[in-house]
Amino acid sequence: MSSLLKLENIYNQELYYKLVKTNIEEDIVINPEFTREIIDRGNDSFEVLLEVKIIKNQQNKIIPFEVKVSVIGQFKLNEWKKNTNYIDNATAILYPYLRSKLAELTMNHPLPPYVLPIINIASFFNKEINKDK
């Protein structure tokens, strides 16, 4: 049985890395910031822009690097607006790509690579939406 949701294409919108400092004198707490944007492309097509940004930690302390990774997935599904579960599914499909790109980008520098944890990213966004209400 094939899925109704079809990933047609995936590409990187932005890959950014900046080394801030290499001497680490204390434990570092890294808090990635995630954003998601849904873009209606008509004809039963939509895009999901999934982004992670690591610029500073919650205590506003400098971390050894800054990074931003954005991936876009182009999806096709009849009447996708009627069922938001497919938005969650599309987001979950993109997360491993985002995770892989971030690890790949950070492994080519003098610091150890940063790998995002395995999480239920769709649940994360649903909690954020409910928190705003």
How does pLDDT run across 95-118, given as a tens digit for each residue?
A: 999 999 999 999 988 888 899 999
pTM: 0.86
Largest CA distance in the chain: 54
Give the CATH architecture of domain 6-132. Answer: Roll (3.10)
Strands 33-42 and 6-19: unpaired
Report in angstroms the alpha-carbon separations of 61 from 52, 54, 65, 113.
Answer: 18, 12, 12, 19
Q: Which amino acid is located at 45 in the chain? A: S
On the question of pLDDT at 45 being above 60, the answer is: yes
- Over residues 127-133, the mean pLDDT reads 62
How far apart are alpha carbons 110 and 131 in whole angstroms? Answer: 38
The full set of domain ranges for the chain reads 6-132
Q: How many CB atoms lie within 10 A of CB 121?
A: 22
Task: pLDDT band for 83, please (50, 70, 90 cuts).
Answer: confident
Q: What is the residue-averaged pLDDT of the chain?
A: 87
